[in-house]
Amino acid sequence: MLNALLQNGASLAPSPALGVGHPAAALGIKISGLTITFGGVPVLHGVDLAVGKGEAVGIVGESGCGKSVTWRGVLGLLPKSAEVRGEAWLGDLDLIGTRRSALDRVRGGRIAMIFQDPASALNPVHRIGAQITEALRLHRELTGAAASAEARRLLDQVGIADANTRLKTYPHELSGGQNQRVMIAIALAGRPELLIADEPTTALDATVQAQILLLLKEIQRDTGMGLVLISHDLAAVGAVCDRVCVMYAGRIVESAPTHTLLSAPQHPYTRDLIGAIPPSHGPRMRLTAIAGAPPQRVLPPGCAYAPRCRDAVTACGTVRPELRPVSAQHSAGCLRLESGGGR
């Protein structure tokens, strides 16, 4: 159902994909060598990632693979027990290690984040209008009638009807889909250069999921901002994003333009994720289940996916593969590719 609805939005043509080394990536954010540990336990292992201005990038993988923690680490949203190292350049500002006062100006302003549960992200004791105008005051110094008018415009932009009435309501008086649209309006209030959507459709039904995803793509296209869509749903990411990065066990294992990744995946984990996507039409067929689960605290000595991989060879258990170019904008980390055994 979701796939079919998203396919109806195919007129939202993606922009050209930008690789990590692409010069246009300097116009957005560039992350290099990002590592994160909790209490001495590493959870992220040298992530390199860039998002260019106007580019939509999907980050996919199972729960616990490091998708959300990457961006929370960049924005300084992790607990004090987390140790974050590396670089994350937003223009001429390295966000890693930046003082809290400087990060406060970036968060919600230059970079905004939509969280997966609007019911917990929105304040239940404040009206919707007050929460939107607070963001406008903090990031654009709008108050009074100007802030109210802009709040109405933002609700119109995200497709909430009767904006004047909705501004006076509380979150519990709105549906899950409406609350998610309110979260998007708050995120847009600061006119961000980059919008990070962290599982923005998790608690919504299939029809509303498609509406929210297409709304994000429309806004990204119309405003020219960068978009990062974090999801475990490769089909949804494939319908919205220009480029996809696949994460597993705290590393990026494959990165490519969306059409390339979906049509010619090179990493076994990516192929297994694609094999688990239900078809949107045609005869019923058995899906391919991925056995086991991602490693938790301790990584295996070789490839982290080797214990679950049907294509693993002996060396996979001892040698850790590096991310290597497959083509100009496509890279993957698999020993079978290095030895010429990839498919």
Q: What CATH number is attached to the domain comprising 232?
A: 3.40.50.300
**Last-in-domain residue among 240, 258, 281:** 281
What is the three-class DSSP state of 228?
strand
64 lies in which domain range? Answer: 1-110+192-281
Query: Looking at the structure, do residues 218 and 269 belong to the same domain, yes or no?
Result: yes
Burial class of residue 46 in the structure, from the number of CB atoms within 10 Å of its CB (0-12 exposed, 13-18 middle, 19+ buried): middle
> How many angstroms separate the CA atoms of 38 and 291, rounded?
27
**Last-in-domain residue among 168, 188, 208:** 188
Query: Looking at the structure, do residues 263 and 155 belong to the same domain, yes or no?
Result: no
Query: Looking at the structure, do residues 22 and 70 belong to the same domain, yes or no?
Result: yes
pLDDT in tens, the chain (343 residues): 445 444 444 434 344 344 444 443 446 899 999 999 998 899 999 999 999 989 999 999 999 899 999 999 999 999 999 999 999 999 889 999 888 888 988 999 999 999 888 878 899 999 999 999 999 999 999 999 999 999 999 999 999 999 999 999 999 999 989 999 999 999 999 999 999 999 988 778 888 888 889 899 999 988 999 999 999 888 889 889 999 999 999 999 999 999 999 999 999 999 999 988 877 677 777 777 888 888 887 888 899 999 999 989 999 999 999 999 999 999 999 998 865 555 5
Query: Looking at the structure, do residues 181 and 238 belong to the same domain, yes or no?
Result: no
Under 8 Å CB-to-CB from 276, ≥6 apart: which residues? 287, 288, 289, 290
Total of domains in the chain: 2
What length does the chain have? Answer: 343
Query: Looking at the structure, do residues 163 and 206 belong to the same domain, yes or no?
Result: no
Amino acid at 313: V
Backbone angles phi, psi at 217, to 5 degrees: -65, -40
Residue 8 forms part of a structural domain: yes
Give me the half-sphere count of Cα atoms (radius 13 Å) on the Cβ side of residue 257: 10
Query: Looking at the structure, do residues 91 and 168 belong to the same domain, yes or no?
Result: no
pLDDT of residue 323: 93
pLDDT of residue 341: 55
For the chain, report the end-to-end CA distance as a whole number of angstroms: 30
Single pTM value for the model: 0.87
> How many angstroms separate the CA atoms of 259 and 241, rounded?
10
**Last-in-domain residue among 281, 311, 333:** 281
Residue 93: left (phi > 0), alpha (psi -120 to 50), or beta? beta
pLDDT of residue 174: 92
Residue 332 forms part of a structural domain: no
Rounded to 10 degrees, the C-alpha dihedral 96/100/104/106 comes to -20
pLDDT of residue 127: 96
Q: Would strands 330-332 and 324-327 be described as parallel, antiparallel, or unpaired?
A: antiparallel
Bridge partner list, 251: 248
